[in-house]
Structure 1
């Protein structure tokens, strides 16, 4: 019980320090938390030693360890927002939904929302290396500037993934240049036989991102209507989703 009590008192101190962005002295923190001054001093010294607080000119501030916890919690909250949103779209449209971004020179599929009844495409060839072959990659590459795109294709050259994959760099460049920012990028069996995909470009700040869906090839007639429905849903929520785009 003593240990639990100490943890509770330390947490109260951390919460109280967080309410004072310009710092607070030990006596004020003891008074606001209802702790005896010797107890407050002992806990404050321990929290400073562990990096959860820092002391400057007699005032206590949140330390790097506490800020890391705060940053991690915020990141988890943003990820949870994306996961929940994709799940709602998956259920409403009846298709697997993907969120991906172009991050530090790589295609990063951040989140996939599917169910056993509506499974996502299996990553049988590395998504990062086959961006030219799937709708997610083509959508992201179309948003890059010429230098970034050239650098990506130098590292991951165009190659055949299926018989339907774009043939070479020249044909891929022509396709990317012809893509319009407001229209879905559609790919038919270029990455996985028996599967069709569509991706929607999303750019917030300098982040190139995309929402995408996939369907079995025999349901190809559903692809464009489903993509347009996703585009409508994403457009309505983009403002609230913007803070989550960089997870």
Structure 2
């Protein structure tokens, strides 16, 4: 007589893994309430599991929601947005802490420039994005740095689909002038009040296999201590480290 033994599944572990999976696939930090709705768990149960996962380092609480924590094993496919966001958020927090400036990361995806994440600095709040990045890449360091990374055909294609709107009196709206600037400054980009009056934005490339991205900060243009060259050097250090992390993630070689 053969006795059939059912597998014993531990419900609490199943719930925890499901919550991690939701965060790992989210493009933005996830609020606990949204996590409860997505998972079908009660809010109280979700809070209890989340507290445990934060304590153990598998999730991390950010001001705007949850991202993956430092102990999360990097064994997931390269297209998991949550893994990408967790790496980016950690880097942006370090940039903001050191430079005291709001930091940004943008990337080129499906033919468009998108902002991936922003970490605010209390003394230097983010620039109000009154025009979407898709329609203002030519007027932002974030966008100009990505345009610099594209080949000639890629730049012309993008610019043919996005007119160079004159957002401020400082905006470069002439295509030839913009292309000349991109050619002359491949390793960094700057906009001096080209997107918003009173703000200067500085960006550097983040280069990784299959990824075109830029790391940037924004600062008040009248800041006395504003030293663009020094900021570029610091950003390049952060961007280099992030490039290594993201590149290793894609080949499954990075360990936390």
Measured against the shorter chain, the TM-score band is: 0.5 to 0.7
Q: Secondary structure at the match of 2:89?
A: helix
Tell me the equivalent position of 2:190.
186
Contact 2:124/2:220 (8 A) holds in 1: no
**Structure 1 residues 243, 76: CA separation in 2 closer, same or farther (over 3 Å shift)?**
farther
Among residues 56, 59, 84, which one is paired with 2:90 in the alignment? 84
Query: For residues 237 and 71 of structure 1, what CA distance do their matches in structure 2 show?
Result: 18
**8 Å Cα contact 1:215/1:223 also seen in 2:** no
Q: Is 1:230 the equivalent of 2:235?
A: yes
> Structure 1: which 5+ runs fail to align?
15-69
- Give the deviation of 1:104 after TM superposition: 0.6
Task: Give me the whole-angstrom Cα distance separating, in 2, the residues matched to 1:178 and 1:105.
Answer: 23
Larger deviation, residues 208-217 vs 224-233:
224-233
* Residue in 2 that maps onto 1:210: 214
Q: 3-state SS of the aligned residue for 2:212? A: strand
Distance in 1 (alpha carbons) for counterparts of 2:241 and 2:126:
24
Q: SS of the counterpart of 1:111? A: strand
Q: Distance in 1 between matches of 2:142 and 2:237?
A: 18
- 5+ long unaligned stretches in structure 2: 1-7, 18-75, 251-256
Q: Kindly provide the CA deviation profile for residues 99-130 of structure 1, in whole angstroms up to 9, marking residues without a partner as x.
A: 11111110011011113332111101111111
Residue 107 of structure 1 corresponds to 113
Among 134, 141, 157, which residue is 1:151 paired with? Answer: 157
Greater Cα radius of gyration, structure 1 or 2: 1
The CA distance in 2 between the partners of 1:9 and 1:112, in whole Å, is 33
Q: Distance in 1 between matches of 2:210 and 2:79?
A: 24
Which residue matches 1:127?
Answer: 133
Distance 2:175 2:79 in 1: 42
Cα offset, 1:85, TM superposition: 1.8
Q: Match of 2:177, SS?
A: helix
Structural mapping, 1:1-247, within 5 Å: 8=11, 11=14, 74-180=80-186, 183-219=187-223, 221-243=226-248
Shift of 1:175: 1.3
TM-score when scaled to structure 2?
0.64
- Larger mean CA deviation between 189-198 and 118-127 belongs to 118-127
Q: Structure 1 residue 191: deviation in Å?
A: 0.6
Q: CA deviation at 1:177?
A: 1.9
User: Could you say if the C-alpha distance between residues 189 and 99 of structure 1 is closer, same or farther in structure 2, counting changes exceeding 3 Å?
Assistant: same
Matched residues in 1 for 2:200 and 2:247: separation? 27
SS at match of 1:108: strand
RMSD value over aligned CA atoms? 2.8
